[in-house]
């Protein structure tokens, strides 16, 4: 339907604006942050330090729950930090992008969370401290219709609490 094209373009522009707002808002909220922001703060042992200096999330390839080398590097840092600060409980949130069906993505998010839990445990983090939860595709952080967003949504987030 060609007549709809201008409307779609408008929505895409709106979506980009919303994305920027979401990113800006999220960076102040550890539980839903975009993470891996590089140096810049947080007292030693604080949730802010974990978010900013360690990085709270890892990303996955499409329909995959295998850890990339970047992901294992992040999880090594997470494990070291979590082993140093043993007072925190840990929730691993597994997420999928929107390019799958709802129930399958619930299961995929769970599988991703499980892979992260197993890796952290293999690096010495006590399984007793860790719980996990899948959100499937229901809680994206980046909103657009291409891979630049989907690749940010295929994630497992380590929430220290």
Partner 1 sequence: MMLFNRRTALKLGLATGATLAASRAASALVEVNVSGGNFQPLPIAIPDFASSDPAFGQEIAGIVRNNLQRSGLFLPLDPASLPIQVGDVAATPDFNSWRQINVDALVMGQVERGGQIQSSVRVWDTQQAAQVVGKQYSTDPNSSRRVAHIISDAIYESLAGGSGYFDTRVVYVSESGPKANRVKRLAIMDQDGANSQYLTEGRTLALTPRFSPNNDLVTYMNFDDGNPQVYLLQLSTGQQRRLGSFGAMTFAPRFSPDGGRIAFSVEASGATNIYSIAVAGGQPTQLTSGGAIDTGPSYSPDGSRIIFESDRGGSPQLYMMAAGGGQAQRISFGEGSYSTPVWAPKGDLIAFTRQSGGQFSIGIMNPDGSGERLLYTSFHAEGPSWAPNGRVIMFFQDPGGNDGPRLKSVDIWGRNVLTIPTETFASDPAWSGLRA
- Find the shortest distance in angstroms from Cβ 118 to partner 1: 8
Contact call for residue 30 and partner 1 (CB under 8 A): no
Give the span between the Cα atoms of 99 and 114, in whole angstroms: 21
Contact call for residue 107 and partner 1 (CB under 8 A): yes
Q: How would DSSP label each residue in 74-128?
A: HHHHHHHHHHH-TT--EEEEEE--SSS-HHHHHHHHHHHHHHHHHHHHHTT--GG
Contact call for residue 65 and partner 1 (CB under 8 A): yes
Residues of span 128-147 touching partner 1 by CB under 8 A: 131-134, 138-141, 143-145
Among 77, 80, 59, smallest CA distance to 68 is for 59
| Interface positions with partner 1 (CB under 8 A) | 8, 11-12, 14-15, 18-19, 22, 32, 63, 65, 98-104, 106-108, 110-111, 113-115, 118, 131-134, 138-141, 143-145
């Amino acid at each position: 339907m060609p007549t709809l094209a201008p409307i779609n373009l408008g929505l895409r522009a709106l979506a980009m604006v919303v994305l920027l707002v979401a990113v800006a808002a999220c960076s102040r909220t550890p539980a839903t942050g975009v993470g891996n922001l590089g140096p810049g703060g947080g007292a030693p042992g604080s949730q802010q330090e974990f978010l900013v200096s360690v990085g709270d999330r890892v990303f996955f390839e499409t329909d995959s729950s295998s850890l990339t080398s970047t992901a294992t590097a992040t999880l090594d840092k997470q494990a070291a930090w979590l082993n140093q600060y043993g007072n925190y409980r840990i929730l691993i949130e597994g997420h999928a992008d929107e390019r799958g069906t709802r129930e399958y993505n619930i299961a995929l998010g769970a599988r991703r969370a499980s892979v992260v839990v197993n890796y952290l445990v293999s690096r010495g983090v006590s399984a007793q401290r860790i719980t996990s939860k899948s959100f499937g595709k229901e809680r994206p952080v980046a909103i657009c219709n291409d891979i630049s967003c989907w690749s940010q949504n295929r994630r497992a987030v380590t929430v220290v609490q």
